[in-house]
Structure 1
């Protein structure tokens, strides 16, 4: 699978590699077999699992389990470190290009059955495309002066994030 197809699926489902909000650490370990670094906060209640340009976030529950609360695919890191994408492809089978144009992801998303509606917001130099149905947001560089090179350029995806929704009680 290529990275563009992966991102379109992620936007539609909110479940990268079949895991998502509420998945346990064990489920993540079974789904993603890639080297990582764990960073636990001082209180031992939150965990960030860093796979390079992909990160998942966990909270420690009163029942004694780590449960996923969010995640992020930091695509901007690939502009300066394309070797991360090569390593990821070897362990996950998903091949990401050095730069990911939002237009390519959007074009793929329209081909995906059940594509979510996207709400656009200005983030000061970035645009945020938020899919409330899947709890995923895409941050895209919106500065005409930004050119591709060691960094992503205008129209490129900066990151794709999964976030736990705040539900009204």
Structure 2
């Protein structure tokens, strides 16, 4: 019989989509108040993988990945997603989002993203929040799964996630 215990801590990352860079300083401040210091900010990536968000957020969206210094209990992912949902509402205009926050957890083996969208491969966590293993780390890279969105399959995201994984690996060494 296995033993129950605490989950090992994981790295909180928030890939964010935004319609205007002018809102980022205020958003970063709000995120740090909720989740602690940001220790990684990717360069801006034009979001050209899909037009899914154009109607609500407008065309010409940008994507930035943020990593947070404070490691988190993976059991708190649903609470983190609820907090980011509140932030999305705070930055909305006329019920249209101007930001989209997709919190996730990175460990040495995988990337898990939180979502409110039900699907057969997603696991219910709490209060309408689901978890999805989006990428699996194997042979020195993050490998997609059949449901992985096209942007998460890209080489650009691969580089970013490998950088975040290296930071997390260093953080784990300091915990031991």
TM-score w.r.t. the length of structure 2 is: 0.29
| Higher helix content, 1 or 2 | 2
